[in-house]
Amino acid sequence: MDRPSARRSKLRRLLKRDRLPGLLVTNFTNVQYLTGFAGGDTFLLITGDDEILISDTRYETDLSNLCPDMKAEIRGPSKTTIQAAAEIAAKRKLPSLGFESGSLTVSMHGTLDRTLPKTELVATEGLVEELREIKDADEIAAIRRAVEIAEKVFNRFKAGYRGDWTERGVAADLEHEIRQRGGLGCAFEPIIGVGDHGALPHAMLTDRRFDEASTILVDWGAREAGGYRSDLTRILNVGKIPAKLEKAYNAVLKAQITSIERIKPGVRFEQIDTAARKVIEKAGMGKNFTHAVGHGIGLGLHEAPRLGPGQTGTLQAGMVVTVEPGVYFPGKFGIRIEDDVLVTKNGFEILTSVPKELSDTIVS
């Protein structure tokens, strides 16, 4: 059985568990996960014994080539995709229909409600995302490719370091280099934080030059050809490293290593965060660690699970997560170290390999 077909079978089991005769999938990433079609602007109606892609004439040929085993309803220009989906669902006379509450707009819900007066519309949350938490062999291989592309790009960038580079310019260069290596582009807009910009966990790009400060935070990732992503963060230091920065860096690195070493099936998500947080708190920087320690990654940048306080789910083999503790000192600098980690049957595998000892951060 091919991967998308197997995923749809698993989704049907979840629908049966929740006593839902059908689900309208409107999240384009979920549609891609379930069908292999990544073109967007396409919905999937799945029932106990049927599955229909609802799209438009732009994608008719692509759908027939990429999803030959699936029926496709191609709408004309006189109706929207949600109108077409509602009419198709109406013909099936379903007693109830699930919809993805995270992606269906109020307007779209209104269209369904008017077209399906005898069908109960049931809001669902995380059904497909529940399946996406556990990566299959193809997905893990794709994430490895995304990591490899990101690392090659970073290594070249680091080796050619120049002080007249700017945050915005480097972000553009990373995008170009990733595409040159066969990727779809950056996994997200890179975060390039020169000096005190690094103290902003999600700093916006500016034209600040690298030689305006001695510390640069680089948070980047790649999307490989199939759309799977990587997510890494490293620090660059120019010249002598101040004692306060050295203390902060060593605390974050120890926190990250401690956190990663706790990863194995059955461990609660929050325990991975707690392991890192305790190290940073012991170093006297607890108030400077302002975000969760990590998240799932795959077709989406931030997927389930979330490795943060209060998250009581447990790790399972096949999950791929980031581990990225950080400390931030407004007006001064920020330190974050991030790797992508696969949960294995007996523990973990760090997928990323960019060196991260303090001595490795120094550039000339």
CATH code: domain of residue 319: 3.90.230.10
Residue whose entry in the numeric block shows the structure tokens 């438009």: 56
Measure the CA angle with vertex 340, ends 339 and 343; round to 5°.
Answer: 130
The pLDDT tens digits of the residues spanning 51-110 come to 999 999 999 999 999 999 999 999 989 999 999 999 999 999 999 999 999 999 999 999
DSSP conformation class of 353: -
For residue 350, report the phi and psi dihedrals to the nearest 5 degrees.
-80, 120
Measure the CA angle with vertex 150, ends 148 and 151; round to 5°.
Answer: 65
What confidence tier does 40 reach under pLDDT thresholds 50, 70, 90? confident
Burial of residue 276, with CB atoms counted within 10 A of its CB: 0-12 exposed, 13-18 middle, 19 or more buried: buried
* Domain enclosing residue 109, as ranges: 3-131
User: For position 306, what pLDDT does the model report?
Assistant: 97
In whole angstroms, give the CA distance from residue 234 to residue 172.
18
State how many domains the chain has.
Answer: 2
Is 43 in contact with 51 (CB distance < 8 Å)? no
Same domain, 126 and 174: no
This prediction's pTM: 0.95
In whole angstroms, give the CA distance from residue 347 to residue 316.
10
| Residue of 356, 324, 319 whose CA lies nearest to 339 | 324
The CA-atom distances, in angstroms, between 333 and each of 166, 196, 239, 327, 361 are 17, 4, 15, 9, 15
| Residue of 56, 99, 97 whose CA lies nearest to 79 | 56
What confidence tier does 224 reach under pLDDT thresholds 50, 70, 90? very high
Same domain, 67 and 164: no
Same domain, 267 and 147: yes
What confidence tier does 364 reach under pLDDT thresholds 50, 70, 90? confident
Same domain, 151 and 298: yes
In whole angstroms, give the CA distance from residue 129 to residue 305.
9
Same domain, 43 and 150: no
Average pLDDT, the chain: 96
